[in-house]
Amino acid sequence: MESPPTNTLGVQRRMRSYRIEGISRAFYRLRQSPLSLLGVGIIVGLFVVAVFAPYVAPYPQDAYIAVHFERAFHSPSWEYPFGTDEAGRDILSRVIIGSRISILIGIMVLCVAAGGGVPLGLVAAYRGGVTENIIMRIADIFLSVPPIALALAVTAALTPNLFNSILAICFVWWPWYARIVHGKALSVKQEQYVEASQSYGAGWLRIAFKDVLPNCMTPILVKATLDMGWAILLGASLGFLGLGAQPPTAEWGVMIATGYPYIPEYWWLTVFPGLAIFAVVLGFNFLGDGLRDVFDVQLEMR
């Protein structure tokens, strides 16, 4: 039997790094939970549909220019599984193509909010003093206002459209990330390896991003997954109120709003887009819930 490899100091070397082993162990536990797998399935399905949307949708033109008033308000049938809307457009196609917008909202919000909030939180934790106070007070003020109300106010101040609504949601979201990272970074700061880095003269920037950040990743990851769902929900809510994507864009929230005057006779205009939102957010929540169990993270819920 071959003896395990040793490094120059004669200490046993691990086959894989500790971190990678931790992650693979976590994913093993994740695989055990059927709900999480279901969540992953839904999310993967969503991404596939969104990427291949024009090929998957039976009447892709209906999501853009085409109108067919002569076949308006057809109830769900084999030809139009989700029925047709007030302009005769196939609702299934619009829902499929609408998934692109929802994904866009989710990804953009995460990138900007996390991309902005995380560094801010790190800087606040590491620099301390006045910088910390200013950043965290501003975060507090933003956190004091209910998220949807703030998103509303910002969108209304600017012209209501998809881009501005994404901007508004980012505005609302970044403080959460800042706060989480700030809290975790504060505790990590005390750890020995940070002291070690400091001792051999690493600048605070390097320490912050190389030592502290990777250890904050787990709560960020869990929150990001859950947040993707919330961002999509918030985007759809703004669309429903007419402050996000604008009609006739095939966005799920907008479709529900346009279909609302026609209930209950033409119920399919509102039911199916909402079902899509529900399914997608559910998927993210299943996965996020599973991840949270796996990483056993203490998180603020909102």
Partner 1 sequence: MKYRDYLLRRLVLVIPTVFGVITLIFVISRIIPGDPARLALGPWAKPEQVQEFRHVLGLDKPIVVQYFDYIIGLFKGDFGLSLTTKRNVLNDLLDFAPASLELVTTGMALAVVIGIPIGVIAGTHKDKWPDHVTRIFALSGVSIPQFWAGIILQLIFAYGLSLVAPNGRLDINLLPPKHITGMYTIDSLLTGNWETLRSSINHLILPAFALSLASISEFARMTRSSLVEELGKDHVLAARVNRIPEFLVVYKYALKSSFTPIMTLIGLDYGFLLGNAFLIEMVFLWPGLARYGVNAIIDKDFNSMMGVTLVIGIGFVFVNLIIDLLYGYVDPRVRLRAK
Partner 2 sequence: MTTEKPSTPDRRGFLKTAVGTVAGLAVGGVVGYVAGTGAQAPTPGQATATVTVTETGSVTGPGPTGPGFWTKSNDETFVFCAIHPVVNTDPHQCLEVLDNETALQAYDPLVVMGEKGVKPHLCVAWDMSGDGLVYTFYARDDVMFHDGSKMTADDIAYSFQRALTVDMNPVTWFRDAMGSTMDERVGNVKVLTASTVQLSLVKTFGPFVSTLPLTYIVSKKTVEMNIKRPGAKVNYKNSLNGDMGDWANEWLINNDAGSGPYRLKQRVWGDKDVYEAFPEYWGGWRPDSFRNLIYQSVPDPAQMKLMMQQGKAHMNDMWYPLDVQLLTAEDPSIKLYERQDYGPLYMNLNCQKPPLDDVNVRKAIAYAFNYDSMLNDILLGRESLQLGPFPNTLWGHDDTLDIPRYDVAKAKEYLAKAKYKPSEIKVTAAYVTGLTQEQRIALLLKANLAEIGIDCTPQEMTWNNIEGKTSQKDPRDSLDMVEIYFTNQYPDPDAWAIIFWSQLWKTGPSFISASYYENPKYDDLFVKARYEVDQGKRIEMYKEMQQILVQDQPALWLYNMQQRHAMRKDIYGYHFVPPAVQSYSKRYSVLSKYPL
Residue 209: which of 118, 113, 116, 108 has the closest Cα?
118
Cβ closer to partner 2: 129 or 264?
264
Residue choice 156, 193, 206, 209 for contact with partner 1 (CB under 8 A): 156
Instruction: Choose, by CB under 8 A, the member of 37, 40, 67, 112 that binds partner 2.
Output: 67
Q: Does 163 bind partner 2 (CB under 8 A)?
A: no
Which CA distances in Å does 30 have to 26, 215, 251?
6, 20, 32
| Residue 9, burial from CB neighbour count under 10 angstroms (0-12, 13-18, 19+) | exposed
Among partner 2, partner 1, none, residue 149 binds (CB under 5-8 Å by kind): partner 1
Q: Is 261 in the site for partner 2 (CB under 8 A)?
A: yes
x-marked contacts with partner 1 along 229-258 as a string, rule CB under 8 A: x---x--xx--xxxx---------x--x--
Which one of residues 54, 60, 81, 242 is an interface residue with partner 2 (CB under 8 A)?
A: 242
CB of residue 265 to partner 1, shortest distance in Å: 9
Look up residue 128 and give its DSSP letter.
Answer: -
Q: Which of 149, 191, 209, 247 binds partner 1 (CB under 8 A)?
A: 149
Closest CB to partner 2 among residues 265, 296: 265
Per residue in 73-102, is it b (16+ CB within 10 Å) or e — as a string?
Answer: bbebeeebebbbbeebbbbbbbbbbbbbbb
Report the C-alpha gap between 76 and 63 in whole angstroms.
17
- Shorter beta-carbon distance to partner 1: residue 23 or 282: 282
x-or-dash string of contact with partner 1, 83-122, rule CB under 8 A: ----------------------------------------
C-alpha distances in Å from residue 5, one per residue of 1, 2, 14, 18: 12, 8, 8, 16
Bridge partners, 84 (sequence order): 90
Q: Are 213 and 107 in contact (CB under 8 A)?
A: no
Q: How many residues bind partner 1 (CB under 8 A)?
A: 42
Burial group, residue 126, by CB count within 10 angstroms (0-12, 13-18, 19+):
buried
| Residues 138/288, Cβ–Cβ less than 8 Å | no
Q: Which stretch binds partner 1 (CB under 8 A): 66-74, 119-127, 146-154, 190-198?
A: 146-154
Q: Is the peptide bond before 58 cis (omega within 30 degrees of 0)?
A: no
What does 236 interact with, of partner 2, partner 1, none (CB < 5 to 8 A by kind)? partner 1
The stretch near partner 2 (CB under 8 A) out of 14-22, 61-69, 122-130, 179-187 is 61-69
Stated as kind and residue range, the H or E segment containing 236 is: helix 213-241
Residue ranges that bind partner 1, judged by CB under 8 A:
35, 137, 140-141, 144-149, 152-154, 156-157, 229, 233, 236-237, 240-243, 253, 256, 260, 263-264, 267, 270-271, 274, 277-278, 281-282, 284-286, 289, 301-302
